[in-house]
A = this chain, B = another copy of it.
Amino acid sequence: MAEQEKKRRQTRKERILDAAEALFARHGFEGVSMRMVAERASVDLALASYHFGSKQGLFDAVLLRRAEVLNKARKAALEECQRTAGPNGPTVEAIIDAFLNPMLAHGYEDDEGWRHYFELIGQVNSSTEWGGVLMTRYFDPLVRRFIEALEKALPDADPADMYWCYHFLSGALTLTFARTGRIDHLSNGVCHSDDMVGAYKRMVPFVAAGFRNLCDKSGKS
């Protein structure tokens, strides 16, 4: 009973979040009006302000909602691959896989919400206005734990090299999952933005090779 009531209450609120997510992803923060959100959510204009305080509050709520889910999934994947690893800890590939796989597990096909969310992340991540603060607040704490794991897998790596390598990974990752359609045009249909499995299977060895080349001093001259 209280369940049914809660469902109803969340229905409107989450409809607003879903609508805002889709619109912010496509048009950016300033390109979306509260009226567009309200109309898409089939809701009165004033309701979004009531629930989230302001347009900025709505934007933050959209960003935070799935960040928590994704962080939990990544944390679990990292701990899992650390538990099943040998005495030397997980390999570079296994750590990168634990970082990427949770995104694929939720977002690689039907789920419209996650697709919009990654589209939004792609924009926020490469925005000077918000990229420096929002991404830091939401994702960096866990990212540091992934980098620590990588430092164990690549013992005598220069920390600066390590951070730059992660930065390259971050750029490739967010652009790919944003699914902008660029690769479709460039490749004349040979590759598809929506082929997340194909992208994922190539991204892991690509960045792993990059990490190894820069951060693995043991096998080099």
Instruction: Report which A residues bind B (CB closer than 8 A).
Output: 25-31, 119, 122-123, 125-129, 131-133, 135-136, 140, 143-144, 159-161, 163-176, 178-187, 190-191, 198-199, 202-203, 205-214
Q: How many copies are assembled?
A: 2
Instruction: Point out the residue from B126, B198, B212 that lies within 8 Å of A175, measured CB to CB.
Output: B126
Q: How far is the CB of A201 from chain B (nearest CB, A)?
A: 9
CB of A167, distance to nearest CB on chain B (Å) = 5
A16: min CB distance to chain B, Å: 20
CB pair B163–A203 under 8 Å, yes or no, is no
What is the distance, in angstroms, from A158's C-beta to the closest C-beta of chain B? 9
Q: Are B198 and A205 in contact (CB under 8 A)?
A: no
- A-B pairs, 7 with minimum CB distance: A171-B175, A209-B213, A30-B31, A132-B181, A206-B210, A168-B172, A131-B180
Q: How far is the CA of A166 from the CA of B27 in the complex (A)?
A: 26
Set B161, B164, B180, B212: member contacting A128, Cβ < 8 A? B180
Closest-CB distance, A185 to chain B (whole angstroms): 4
Given the known inter-chain contacts A212-B209, A213-B205, please indicate yes or no for A186 contacting B143, CB distance below 8 A: yes
Closest to A119 in B: B128
> Complex Cα distance A42/B209, Å?
50
A136 near B172 (CB under 8 angstroms)? Answer: no
A219 CB to nearest chain B CB (Å): 12
With known contacts A26-B128, A127-B123, A140–B185 Cβ distance under 8 A = yes
A214: B residues at CB distance < 8 A: 202, 205-206, 209
CB pair B187–A159 under 8 Å, yes or no, is: yes
In the assembled complex, the Cα of A182 lies from the Cα of B167 at a distance in Å of 8
Q: How far does the alpha carbon of A174 sit from the alpha carbon of B176 in the complex, in Å?
A: 13
Shortest C-beta distance, A25 to chain B (Å), equals 7
Residues of B within 8 A of A208 (CB): 213
The one of B119, B126, B187, B209 in contact with A180, judged by C-beta atoms closer than 8 angstroms, is: B126
> Given A119-B128, A164-B198, list of 4 further CB < 8 A pairs?
A128-B180, A131-B178, A164-B206, A206-B213
Contacts A123-B123, A125-B182, A128-B178 given: A207-B168 contact, CB under 8 Å? yes
